Structure 1
């Protein structure tokens, strides 16, 4: 009997906004320092503004990069300020990960837009189809949509650095053809 290969798709499953952001950024930095061709996006800490919070993504290979993903809705607004246009602009980083190709792709999260088939859903699917390992984060309300999106083929990880390392080491030791 053989062992089941490690899924080359994984999500940090969490229930707190911002919980996986630093974890993903630190993981990407460690892998880049080790010489791994990591490409992707991480969420930067929220910047408070007079109209709520400003959100931005950063390309893991360019710490100076900023992709604003929030829009100003006005002081009386209580709706989501996520900017689909900003997400579309940032998605170029994941498309480059596919073209290069990357050894590992990191997507800041699978959330509202992706659960509805938008956002970076197309880029995530393309990376998965190219058999490039993908790591993202999924908040509990979107977990069922994530499971449907991946056909149940993704590993679900806790927000823990050791769990990420174990997943990545297992991915690297699994031949691509067997994945």
Structure 2
């Protein structure tokens, strides 16, 4: 059964508090991954239940091109790309890792966490794949959702959301203000 999304379901769109759906807008070179991981950690330390997935920022031991995702509920870290070796020309995206990450998002939705984090809305989702169904499931469940979207892909995000949601500048103070207002509205 396909999952409805706001742009395709006017009844769902009427039930959504657009403020609960937020995307951090970023450009190349902006440390959006670090911001999202730090924000999730701050909320968890404050006693909030945060679930979903976040992309870990590269560390000193990170290999070039390596992308790791962390399941924010279990703490499990998974590489998102296959290591095919030097000179490999095929796609390095690991379908198994993507499926495992989607399970982590769905588990967070089922647990009705305080905030669902989905690291990015990108080309995969715009093309109809990636975590598109998981975004829709979290929104349908009425949970606050935080993601990031590259400035060049805002049009795809707005098409998916039907224009609903809040676009945020990628700064901790703005993110903290969004969360405080979200909590106030949900109280």
- List aligned pairs for 1:91-106, cutoff 5 A: 91-106=102-117
Structure 1: how far apart are the matches of 2:74 and 2:30?
21
Structure 1: how far apart are the matches of 2:92 and 2:62?
13
Q: TM-score, normalised by structure 2?
A: 0.82
Structure 2: how far apart are the matches of 1:80 and 1:144?
25
Aligned residues: 169
Structure 1 154/53 Cα, relative in aligned 2: closer, same or farther at 3 Å? same
Contact kept, 8 Å, 1:109 with 1:138, in 2: the verdict is yes
2:47 maps to which residue? 35
Higher helix share: 2
Contact kept, 8 Å, 2:23 with 2:146, in 1: the verdict is yes
Q: CA deviation at 1:87?
A: 1.3
The yes-or-no answer on 1:22 pairing with 2:37 is no
- List aligned pairs for 1:1-179, cutoff 5 A: 7-16=19-28, 19-46=31-58, 48-49=62-63, 52-63=64-75, 65-77=76-88, 81-175=92-186
Structure 1: how far apart are the matches of 2:123 and 2:95?
10
Identify unmatched segments of 5+ residues in structure 2.
1-16
Q: TM-score, normalised by structure 1?
A: 0.85
Contact kept, 8 Å, 2:18 with 2:164, in 1: the verdict is no
Deviations 1:19-54 (A, max 9, x none): 2101001100110111111111111133644xx422
Q: CA deviation at 1:116?
A: 1.1
Misfit runs of 4+, over 4 Å: 77-80
Identify unmatched segments of 5+ residues in structure 1.
none
Structure 2: how far apart are the matches of 1:112 and 1:83?
16
Structure 2: how far apart are the matches of 1:119 and 1:61?
20
Moved more, 154-163 or 10-19: 10-19
Deviations 1:98-154 (A, max 9, x none): 111111111111112111111111011010011100000111222111111111111
Alignment RMSD, CA only? 2.0
